[in-house]
């Protein structure tokens, strides 16, 4: 397993700078929560679940390294830390889920000794991390059932080990299928403009011994036409309660192409990615990123000046284009109604319902 992030007993976070991969495997170390905010904005730490985990530890760090005996100032500081993480990336549901859990622990223990409160916050961050590892494993098992003995899977962006606490969501399914003895070939979309597919997915598929070919994004439709793709599996940044999916820009065109070519389009994500309070995908904020990500390549301008740019990080796949959503609970089919999973998350109960419960 790739070491992507570790919170040490010195209250510092050590993390792999994913913006440099695969050319440099560089670990950064910090005791300052603001560096974690910056790392999330700059995609050094990325992928919805990993962003949530990093932010949870960032909150613990922000509390630990703040010196005050004054309760009022302490509270003001806590909410300031939470707010700076909330403003780091708007789309990843897991980020907000993690911050809600940390805030709940804080508010329920306002009267506790500083040290005790800090311990409780650390325990919560550890739990968010551990639960994500477990959710990935379960998604892997649930999703592997969708793959035949020999499959060709196309994936977009990076929804693997590097994006989560565990083995990943979309890629977790592939690793699990491979472990079960299935034969899987992966086509990895390069994923313009930041090349998470080319840089990260190929890196981790290679590290895990999965056969793969890198393709440019615009090649996917033709591969489908030539019947070289059995299914598409992607992750999600946020899923509305009706099953509309927001994921890395380019996901929508893959879904349209799948519908046209009658190829299953699967989404793999934990319950922590589902925004149960948002009914439809059009209500989800899509992050707009800096124009430089498109007008520059490795710091060098490739366009003339004054070029207008649209650079949304994600797009919306309407639920009618989604064949199934794989969660840690089960494989959900349309019409999407996350029933028991929704109840569980809304009441913060961390035990999974049985698969036999009604959805
Ligand atoms: O901008 P990124 O690299 O953070 O985007 C990541 C994705 O779009 C992933 O598919 C999503 O977060 C799911 S990761 C399990």
- Pairwise CA distance, residues 143 & 208, whole Å: 18
Pocket test for ligand 1, best of 42, 163, 170, 233 (most atoms within 8 A of CB): 163
- Percent of the chain past pLDDT 70, that is, above it, reads 96
Average pLDDT over the chain, rounded to whole? 95
pLDDT for 343 = 84
**259 CA distance to ligand 1 middle (Å):** 22
- In order of their start, the domains of the chain are 5-136 (1.20.120.420), 142-341 (3.40.50.10470)
| Reported pTM | 0.96
Q: Which of 237, 244, 275, 315 is catalytic?
A: 237
- Pairwise CA distance, residues 18 & 339, whole Å: 36
Q: What are the pocket residues of ligand 1 if the criterion is a CB atom closer than 6 Å to any ligand atom?
A: 43, 46-49, 157, 159, 163-164, 169, 196, 235-237, 247-248, 313
* Residue 282 annotated as catalytic: no
pLDDT for 315 = 98
Low-confidence residues in the chain, pLDDT < 50: none
């Amino acid at each position: 397993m790739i070491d992507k992030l570790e919170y040490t007993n010195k209250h510092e976070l050590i993390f792999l700078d994913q913006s440099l991969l695969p050319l440099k495997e560089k670990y950064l170390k910090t005791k300052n929560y603001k560096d974690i905010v910056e790392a999330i904005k700059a995609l050094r730490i990325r992928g919805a679940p990993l962003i949530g985990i990093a932010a949870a530890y960032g909150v613990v760090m922000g509390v630990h390294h703040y010196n005050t005996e004054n309760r009022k100032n302490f509270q003001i500081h806590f909410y300031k830390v939470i707010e700076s993480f909330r403003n780091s990336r708007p789309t990843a549901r897991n980020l907000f889920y993690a911050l809600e859990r940390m805030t709940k622990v804080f508010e329920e223990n306002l009267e506790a000794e500083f040290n005790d409160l800090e311990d409780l916050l650390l325990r919560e961050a550890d739990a968010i991390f551990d639960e994500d590892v477990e959710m990935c494993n379960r998604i892997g098992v649930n999703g592997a059932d969708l793959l035949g003995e020999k499959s060709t899977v196309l994936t977009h962006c990076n929804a693997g080990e590097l994006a989560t606490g565990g083995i990943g969501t979309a890629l977790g399914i592939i690793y699990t299928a491979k472990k079960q003895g299935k034969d899987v070939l992966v086509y990895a979309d390069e994923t313009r403009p930041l090349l998470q597919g080319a840089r990260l997915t190929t890196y981790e598929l290679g590290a895990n011994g999965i056969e793969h070919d890198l393709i440019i994004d615009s090649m996917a439709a033709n591969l489908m036409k030539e019947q070289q793709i059995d299914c598409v599996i992607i992750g999600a940044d946020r899923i509305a309660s009706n099953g509309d999916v927001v994921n890395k820009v380019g996901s929508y065109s893959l879904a349209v192409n799948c519908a046209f070519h009658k190829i299953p389009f699967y989404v793999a994500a934990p319950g922590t990615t589902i925004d149960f309070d948002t009914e439809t995908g059009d209500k989800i904020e899509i992050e707009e990123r800096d124009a430089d990500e498109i007008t520059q390549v490795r710091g060098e301008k490739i366009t003339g000046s004054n070029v207008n740019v649209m650079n949304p990080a994600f797009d919306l796949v309407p639920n009618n284009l989604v064949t199934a959503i794989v969660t840690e609970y089960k494989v959900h089919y349309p019409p999407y109604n996350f029933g028991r999973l929704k109840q569980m998350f809304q009441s913060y109960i961390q035990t999974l319902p049985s698969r036999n419960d009604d959805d």
